[in-house]
Amino acid sequence: MSEELVTLTIDGVTVRTAPGTLLVEAAAQAGILIPVYCYHPKLAPVGACRMCLVEVEGAPKLIASCTTPVREGMVVYTDNQRVRKAREGILEFLLVHHPLDCPVCDKGGECPLQDFTYQFGPSRSRFRYPKRHWDKPLQIGPNILLDRERCIMCFRCVRFCEEISHHRQLGVFQRGNNQEIGTFPGQPFDSRFAGNTIELCPVGALTGAPTRFFGRTWEIGHTPSVCTGCSTGCNIRVDSRHGSEVVRLWSRENPATDDGWLCDPGRFGYGFVNDGRLEEPLVESDGQCVPATWQQAIARAGAVLEQHAKAGTLGILTSPRMTSEELFSVSKLARTVLKVPHLDHTARYVHPAAVDLRAFAASAGFTPGTLRDIQDARQIITIGVDLSREQPVTDLRVKKAVTQKGAELVVVDAEELELSAFARHTVLWQPGDEAATVMSLANAVASPSEANGMQAVGELLRQEGPKVVLLGWRVGESPDAERIGESLAALAQALGPGTRCVTILRHCNSRGALDLGVHPAEDPVSGRGMSGEEMLRAACEGRIRALWLLGEEPLQDADPDLVRRAMENLEALVFQGWSLPSWLERVPDAALPSTTFAEMDGTFTNTHGRVQRIFRAIRPKGKSRPGWEIVNDLAQALGHPFDSRTVEAVFEEMCAATPAYRGLSWNSLGVAGRESQADSAAAAPAAAQG
Amino acid sequence: MFVEFVKGLGITLRQVFRKPTTVNYPEEKRPPSARARWRHKLLRHEDGLERCIGCSLCAGACPAHCINVVAADNTDEDRKSPGERYAAVYEINMLRCIFCGYCEDACPTGAIVLGPDYELADFDRASFIYGKDRLLVPEPGEVAREKKRLVEREIG
Amino acid sequence: MEFEQTRRIFEKARERFGEDVSLSDRPNGEGSIVVEPSLIRDFTRWVRDEAEGSFDFFGEVCATDFLGRSPRFDLTYTVYSTTANRHLHYKTRVDDPDPQVDSVVDIFPGAGWHEREIFDMFGVRFHGHPDLRRILMPEHWRGHPLRKDYPLGGEEVQFSSNFADITPQTLPPAPGEDIFLGWDVLETQPSSYTQLLESGAELEHDGEGRMVINMGPQHPSTHGVLRLLLELDGENVVKAVPDIGFLHTGIEKTGESLNYQQALTLTDRMDYLSPMGNNLAFSLSVERLIGLEPPERATILRVIFAELTRIQSHLVWLGTHALDLGAMSAFFYCFRERDQILDMFEMVSGVRMMTSYICPGGLREDVTDDFVPALERFLKVFPDRLGEYETLLTRNPIWLERTQGVGKISAEDAVAYGVSGASLRGSGVRWDVRKAEPYCGYDTYDFEVPVGTNGDVYDRYLCRIEEMRQSHRIIRQALSRLQPGPVQAEERKVVPPPKSEIGQSMESLIHHFLITTIGFVAPPGEGHVPTETGRGLLSFYIVGDGSPKPYRMRARTPSFANLQALPRMLEGCLVADAVATIGSIDIVLGEIDR
């Protein structure tokens, strides 16, 4: 910015900041804490709670620092007698109707009302009258409980719904003492972003229903990690008890991925860590699964793998929710020891040309982009992806770009999406007709005369400004993907160079699986390996007789009928994962329990290529072990022991062997991760630095 | 020199005529003081409801981190304590406890108290984890001692 | 010790050392003089010889790790003047990657063990120290535990849900594994002491008739888990090397992870024979840090309990000391009176020993109605009983034979080593912190401080007997002053509100919630108040950082310094005399090892 900075004095400290900065933010830059309730950096300021009052020289009354931008030469006092008295008074008012709930309130111990009362508030009460009462708690949505007595009317929750999620399900009702937060009559607060209001609420008015009574801050361990719900790679904090149980997930802002929010399926979807786990190794005996030692299970699994690898009848399906270290180890075992070319991370149909969707987009001429590019875009196009359901937190980013930054959105899909309400245009295609539709769009952009009813869209997309295309994985699963690719190339040409494309993949480490080559690859000796879908078909025909299945995701998303027939036909099955799928209708020869993300260190790569670390939060359940350790044991049992014995060593080995991860080191990942090389030739500067 | 020895022996002889201070435990037991801080108890209200509301303040105050509280919801059909919340799990690891009484100081409802029972020896480590089954007093209402204590500490 | 006094000394220091000294003035603090590391020896010499007050007594040197700051380590020296009745703090700062400074052990022999402890716990090296090796941790330990980047460790607490998951911690590295030092090992010259440790049995058959034996760590007369290596020539002790650390439980490190009230419970367990004395020293330092005064009644009661604790501690000393030397009956009689005192402790706090009764703000609760009558009964009986012990021992020829002329230490040596308490006063130095730097209103009570002349075991015995008498006198006076009133300061941000309020007042509930769990917040600064327990000079040096937990909780304990002087006292004595001497310095391993 070439604008001149504004200079002001806060508590005797000279502060220089950009014009337009709010006083409360300027103070924060100088390390001066001004207590706030209604103010939040991501919400428009309202000046409702009056906690942030400060004295400004020349002004007769105290002013709210959250609604006041800095002015040249301002002299501000945030900690003098007058301000302290005001804060004490505000807190006294806030406490007047506040119920004596601290011992039973989930917020106690991490409550800004408690903390500011201790720091700034009165220590004795003068209020001797009855407090107002409401029925409580009220379950206003599947995940949210409302306690109206505790509410201090900061309106953060309502503002979040209005400004960020745009799911306008909360409102303020009544006035004065009777003012309350509520949902519209008969309507639940079931937004998939509802959980964020639990974090925003400065008191225990909005609390999580699934996490009710999870514990107290002094009993909880906090560990940084990454959500495994989708491929955004939202940074989270895992809260655990006794080192053995995950009790809550909390956000951990990373502007590169989540922008500070979580979605409810991710936030509340940690049950799989605590319950239903495969806790000890099993081997098949007389048609039943019986507990075994690790040694026995490894021996049995190794025998199956070896036998069928030699015969060329082994297929390997790994979950794209496993860490990169696990995937790398499996891939290494497959290619160098078992010499099996049939390795994939999904059993759904994927067009061979679009196996790596990012490469597919790059070959169409798009520059790989990151999720953050969305908020700087002028025009955003989503193609074949329903962000609201498939990558919710990115949906918030798009909404932010459209509603706060003036970006224009074009949605291209089979039907109207939730995001269509924010789109300038929705372009619909018929199933099977995707390539033609995209080509028409490309033409409409390229030449106004060939618009074919898409004049307005074309004109919009011809405008100046950074453009971002969000391409969904469903495009790669179309049998017509090749032609769609041609159309995309035309579109890229029409949109102009520098148009970024973020490919939206399905699972939290789909990108990692692709980077590590966990997909059918051209093998010099055996030719091209089978894809996951081909493996299932081959199993039905008896050409694949054994499957090493890691995780349930590859089969879970596949054609259930195909899966069933394949399972029936298999001679042998080795399962490795954190829980034995209930729908698996055959007894595995060996079941090897592996750890979830919460129980080990490792990395995931998000959809656009950001490598992020997860940290071990709880002890492995039962006898489960990290997948790469299990693979090490298998390698040993097969007579080819691997050298890398720690997760760090596996990571270093992985990076050395993977073009996209060259230059990354374990210690440099920190808690926020780093961008990998999106493609070695044209990695955009923003993507490479992270 | 001899005189000093005689004087000393005289002191020893004097003890014969003094009442011995030995308490022949376990046949005789010294009465514990009114504030004796030994085995914990979870008290009830007069109407039988548990005083403990599962707030975990005791666990937070404990210097040895030896209290484990898992809270749960009361329902009208199944009510354990007054109000929303009660302790579904309440455990004290008695081997870790240092009997400082901070849990009793922290408890806002007068639920957890340290009582006078000090005869706590047992045989294996696991049996020193006292749960609600061993801590909760079976009968509603407190014995006089606890009641006096609660009054002294100004809890209703 | 007021800030002004420090400032005056600083001005003089400025004249002498120029810009290399500066004044550090933390709020609520007594101030300290910050010295350039290269000048530490000159400054220490100046402080001892030339500074106003001539600080002759070495209190302690301790380190604080300010991880993230450069320079990283603060070394805080505290010296006392036994004549001018004041003390002085001065600091120097050293930095990673290889923190080191000159040793001052030749100026103040008492610095020897403190510097070893800093080396052990923080990894700061002291040039010129004759025997720089670990003191509390085992020889082959890796890492420096009190550093902020060293994990606290510890075994998770077992409950029914995680019972099977908790297994014993892995043991420390076995002997023979490389000692992690991080620098050239040869730089620290192996000392005669090290050779002594290493030599072990080698001397046994070298023809000179010398033998090195272990006295302890399991021994009835070492008064705790103390290992003394004795190099013997027949029955004569040629050299004695104490080896401590067997009772090290990481109290200072644990204190950093607990809030102030919780850390108070750790202090009970240091000098376990004078728990309320430790509580008092800690509470005074914390109150100094946060700027809080307890009410009058609390202060008077604190004096009563401090003196009862002193009497009770001396009774244990007397009983066990006499028992070591064969006078078994004294043991029973002393413990009988001690029991009366412990009963009184049980009346007011509920437990006999680890009371945690004196806390920052005052006392946890007022005394019960039966306390004062019980105290009066005790006070009535005690002088007679004390007379009985004296009849048994003071002029008993066997006693005199065993204790006179044994375990002598000169006044100069005692002061230079930082020996305090009766162990110092037995040598004729009339220095008692209660008189020299009064706290809790000790300057308003009439009492004498007994001193000896010869500095032998007998004189130390006489001192302690008389001290018990004087304590009795103080308690009588205190009791007569007792008036009804509150026993906790009315500061709601530190002391929780009465329980009756938390059902009615939102503010009270919030403060109760936060103070009892997360703890009250202490401002950044330092708190240090020296006190006199039964063993001598006990002081806590607390560094606050604006959080509810102490950033550094350092305990300067009298037994640690007194034990340092033991080898001096044992030179040339018989093994049997070693038993008498160890008893006479009245050490408690809990506060040596912490």
Question: How would you write B25-55 as a 3-class SS string?
Answer: CCCCCCCCCCCCCCCEEECECCCCCECCCCC
When pLDDT is cut at 50, 70 and 90, the band that residue C184 belongs to is very low
When pLDDT is cut at 50, 70 and 90, the band that residue C1 belongs to is low
pLDDT in tens, A442-474: 988 888 776 677 888 888 888 888 999 999 999
Candidates A139, A219, A242, partner chain B, best to mutate (most B CBs within 10 A):
A219
pLDDT above 90 as % of chain A: 79
Same domain for A662 and A523, yes or no, is yes
Residue range B116-121: mean pLDDT, rounded: 92
Q: Which residue in chain A has the smallest CA separation from B86?
A: A104
pLDDT in tens, C43-78: 999 999 888 878 989 999 999 999 999 899 999 999
pLDDT in tens, A150-166: 999 999 999 999 999 99
pLDDT in tens, C522-548: 999 899 999 999 999 999 999 999 999
C135 pLDDT more than 80? yes
What average pLDDT does the structure give for chain C?
88
Would you say residue A215 lies in a domain? no
Dist CA A526 CA A309 (whole Å): 12
Same domain for A394 and A462, yes or no, is yes
When pLDDT is cut at 50, 70 and 90, the band that residue B19 belongs to is confident
Domains of chain C (ranges, CATH numbers): 3-127 (3.30.460.80), 251-593 (1.10.645.10)
A40 burial level (CB within 10 Å; 0-12, 13-18, 19+): buried
C177 pLDDT more than 90? no
Residue range C502-512: mean pLDDT, rounded: 94
CB contact under 8 A, B73 and A213: yes
A408 pLDDT more than 90? yes
Q: Which of C393, C426, C396, C421 lies closest to C409, judged by CA?
A: C426
Q: Which of C444, C512, A643 lies closest to B105, judged by CA?
A: C512
DSSP string, C118-129: HHHHH--EEET-
When pLDDT is cut at 50, 70 and 90, the band that residue B156 belongs to is very low
Residue range A281-298: mean pLDDT, rounded: 93
pLDDT of residue C207: 54
Would you say residue A263 lies in a domain? no
CB contact under 8 A, A215 and B70: yes
Same domain for A376 and A302, yes or no, is no
Would you say residue A266 lies in a domain? no
Dist CA C106 CA A323 (whole Å): 60
Chain A: give the shortest CA distance to residue B27, in Å.
Answer: 43
pLDDT in tens, C316-336: 999 999 999 988 889 999 999
C205 pLDDT more than 60? no
Dist CA C25 CA C91 (whole Å): 12
Phi, psi of A648 (to 5 degrees): -65, -45
pLDDT above 70 as % of chain A: 96
H helical segments located in C200-295:
251-257, 260-268, 275-290
Is A100 an 8 Å CB contact of chain C?
Answer: yes
Chain A: give the shortest CA distance to residue B53, in Å.
Answer: 7
Q: Which of A79, A104, A119 is the endpoint of a domain? A: A79
Dist CA B61 CA B76 (whole Å): 31
pLDDT of residue B154: 58
Same domain for A378 and A335, yes or no, is no
User: Which among B37, B91, B155 is the nearest to C351, CB-wise?
Assistant: B37
**ipTM score of the complex?**
0.90
Is A218 an 8 Å CB contact of chain B?
Answer: yes
CB contact under 8 A, A137 and B70: no
CB contact under 8 A, B70 and A104: no
Same domain for A382 and A458, yes or no, is yes
Residue range A359-367: mean pLDDT, rounded: 91
pLDDT of residue A197: 96
Same domain for A414 and A540, yes or no, is no
Same domain for A12 and A149, yes or no, is no
Would you say residue A256 lies in a domain? no
Tokens 């590391």 sit at which residue? C37
Residue range C282-309: mean pLDDT, rounded: 95
Same domain for A116 and A169, yes or no, is yes
Dist CA A426 CA A428 (whole Å): 6
Q: Which residue in chain C has the smallest CA separation from B37?
A: C350
Number of domains in chain A: 4
pLDDT in tens, B29-59: 988 888 999 999 999 888 888 999 999 999 9
Residue range C179-198: mean pLDDT, rounded: 44
Tokens 């909760």 sit at which residue? B136
pLDDT of residue C551: 96
Q: What is the 8-class DSSP label of residue A490?
A: H
Dist CA C452 CA C411 (whole Å): 10
Higher local confidence (pLDDT), C175 or A411: A411
Is A216 an 8 Å CB contact of chain B?
Answer: yes
CB contact under 8 A, C395 and B4: yes
Q: Which domain holds residue A52?
A: 6-79
C231 pLDDT more than 70? yes
Q: Which of A504, A534, A552 is the endpoint of a domain? A: A504
Would you say residue A213 lies in a domain? no
Q: Which residue in chain C has the smallest CA separation from B61?
A: C517
pLDDT of residue A100: 94
Residue range C565-576: mean pLDDT, rounded: 89
A688 pLDDT more than 70? no
Q: Which residue in chain A has the smallest CA separation from B69?
A: A215
Enumerate residues 6+ apart whose C-beta is below 8 A from C393.
B8, C322, C327, C330, C399, C461
Residue range A194-200: mean pLDDT, rounded: 96
Q: Are B131 and B89 in contact (CB under 8 A)?
A: yes
Same domain for A119 and A57, yes or no, is no
When pLDDT is cut at 50, 70 and 90, the band that residue C194 belongs to is low
Q: Within 13 Å of residue C93, how many CA atoms lie on the same side as its CB?
A: 13
Dist CA C229 CA C134 (whole Å): 16
> Please, which chains are in contact with C (at least 3 CB pairs closer than 8 A)?
A, B
Q: Within 13 Å of residue C157, how many CA atoms lie on the same side as its CB?
A: 20
Give the C window 128-167 contacts with A, CB below 8 Å.
Answer: 156, 159, 161-162, 165
Tokens 């993300």 sit at which residue? A597
Enumerate residues 6+ apart whose C-beta is below 8 A from A639.
none
Same domain for A334 and A461, yes or no, is no
Q: Which residue in chain C has the smallest CA separation from A122?
A: C507
Which of C152-166, C301-315, C332-346 is least confident?
Answer: C152-166
B21 pLDDT more than 90? no
Same domain for A597 and A538, yes or no, is yes
A492 pLDDT more than 80? yes
Domains of chain B (ranges, CATH numbers): 33-152 (3.30.70.3270)
pLDDT in tens, A18-71: 999 999 999 999 999 999 999 999 999 999 999 999 999 999 999 999 999 999
What is the CA angle A89-A93-A95, rounded to 5?
115
Would you say residue A217 lies in a domain? no
Q: Locate B5 and state its tokens.
A: 């020895």
Q: Which of A18, A51, A79 is the endpoint of a domain? A: A79
Q: Which residue in chain C has the smallest CA separation from A621?
A: C165
Q: Are A486 and A494 in contact (CB under 8 A)?
A: no
Same domain for A524 and A660, yes or no, is yes
CB contact under 8 A, B156 and C346: no
Would you say residue A246 lies in a domain? no
User: Which among A98, A243, A245 is the nearest to C506, CB-wise?
Assistant: A98
Q: Which of C281, C337, C317, C272 lies closest to C422, judged by CA?
A: C317
Residue range A546-571: mean pLDDT, rounded: 90
Q: Which residues pair with A550 in a beta bridge?
A: A318, A576
Is A115 an 8 Å CB contact of chain C?
Answer: yes
pLDDT above 70 as % of chain C: 92
Q: Which residue in chain A has the smallest CA separation from B75?
A: A137
Candidates C258, C506, C521, partner chain A, best to mutate (most A CBs within 10 A):
C506
Residue range B98-118: mean pLDDT, rounded: 94
Would you say residue A164 lies in a domain? yes
3-state secondary structure of A668: helix
C121 pLDDT more than 90? yes
When pLDDT is cut at 50, 70 and 90, the band that residue C174 belongs to is very low
CB contact under 8 A, B63 and C163: no
Chain A: give the shortest CA distance to residue C492, in Å.
Answer: 6
For residue B53, the chain A residues in CB contact (below 8 A) are 103-104
What average pLDDT does the structure give for chain A?
91
Q: In this structure, what CATH number is given to the domain that contains residue A684? A: 3.40.50.740
User: Which among C497, C502, C507 is the nearest to A121, CB-wise?
Assistant: C507
Highest mean pLDDT among A338-342, A556-560, B4-8, C187-191: A338-342
pLDDT of residue A680: 41
pLDDT in tens, A421-440: 999 999 999 988 999 999 99
User: Which among A115, A122, A245 is the nearest to C507, CB-wise?
Assistant: A122
